[in-house]
Structure 1
Amino acid sequence: MADNDESTRLVAIACDHGGFALKEALKVALPDVTWLDLGTDRAESVDYPDFANKLANAIKGGKAARGILICGSGIGISIAANRHAHIRCALVHDVTCARLCRQHNDANVLALGGRMIGEAVAKECVEAFLSTVFEGGRHQKRIDKLG
């Protein structure tokens, strides 16, 4: 991330108990990323909507421009995040989808399933998500229709 604006260099990350191990692994695997860790900080059961909401509020408040959310499957936390009008959260399972969600959909949040994806693939997905630029053009009119 080459931009010097602090909010564009800072990546919010949050998870529930099902994503805790992968969240911690990604923070170690990607030491060049400046993380805004919004929890959870333990593997005990917590509610994924609480952490999706924290991340959505951090983006809305300008604390970060992009975010990573992780729950067991990635499904629940992505649904919770997408309830916020300013969030375009994409659940991905491979690097191609991670790249395309930025390139074509201007996703600002990436969701991963901590029990569905391995650490190496998750790392590649996050790297692609953070390094890919939105193409705009024909894709922008579609984004505009999302409301």
Structure 2
Amino acid sequence: MKIAIGSDHAGYRYKQAIITHLQDAGHEVMDFGTHSEESVDYPRFIRPVAEGVAIGKYERGIVLGGSGNGEAIAANRVKGIRCGLCWNLESAILTRQHNDANVLSLGGRMMDLGTALQIVDIFLTTPFEGGRHLARIQQLDT
């Protein structure tokens, strides 16, 4: 799978670990930065991830920050993006099954790395259920 990823300084360490995890699993990863823990403005690194997913260049996107809230908001500003902020395994399952999220937002200060990696795996493997959920999603873009 082709995956775009980006973070601010607070999500940098987890981003690096997630990139390694994804590449080890055979995924193609495009890293939009940031490339250090130096303080940055997150929209610079999140918007390119969302835009790449929205135009179909990447199948999924992952964005990271301290809480993940600002990153989710930034990604969701891009038409066609359904970015789910996930904090545990159940939220990751539901964001895919019910919301067909195409971008995942994680807060590096909100969970340990092991949980973050599990959430990433769930996000990439859980299918969308469709049905009544599809009609709801279609209303988002009307």
Q: Percent identity of the aligned residues?
A: 48
Quick one: distance in 2 between partners of 1:11 and 1:95?
Answer: 20
Instruction: Figure out how many residues of one structure are paired with residues of the other and give that number.
Output: 139
**What is the distance in 2 between the residues matched to 1:57 and 1:146?**
17
- 1:94 is displaced (CA, Å) by 0.6
Pick aligned residue for 2:108 from 101, 114, 135: 114
1:19 to 2:27 alignment: no
Q: Distance in 2 between matches of 1:91 and 1:57?
A: 17
Code of the aligned partner of 1:15: S
Name 2:133's counterpart in structure 1: 139
Taking the aligned partners of 2:89 and 2:28, their CA distance within structure 1 comes to 21
For the residue of structure 1 that corresponds to 2:140, the secondary structure is coil
Which stretches in structure 1 are left out of the alignment for 5+ residues?
1-8
Given candidates 51, 63, 66, the residue that maps to 2:57 is 63
The one-letter code sitting in structure 1 at the alignment partner of 2:12 is F
> Take 2:62 and 2:104, find their aligned partners in 1: how far apart are those partners?
5
TM-score by length of structure 1 reads 0.91
Q: Which contiguous aligned blocks of 4+ residues in structure 1 show a shift greater than 6 angstroms? A: none
Q: Take 1:136 and 1:22, find their aligned partners in 2: how far apart are those partners?
A: 31
Select which of 65, 83, 88 maps to 1:89. 83
Deviation at 1:58, TM superposition (A): 1.2
Letter in 2 for 1:108: N
**Structure 1: distance between partners of 2:28 and 2:48:** 17
Cα distance in structure 2, aligned partners of 1:69 and 1:63: 16
AA aligned opposite 2:65: C
Q: TM-score, normalised by structure 2?
A: 0.94
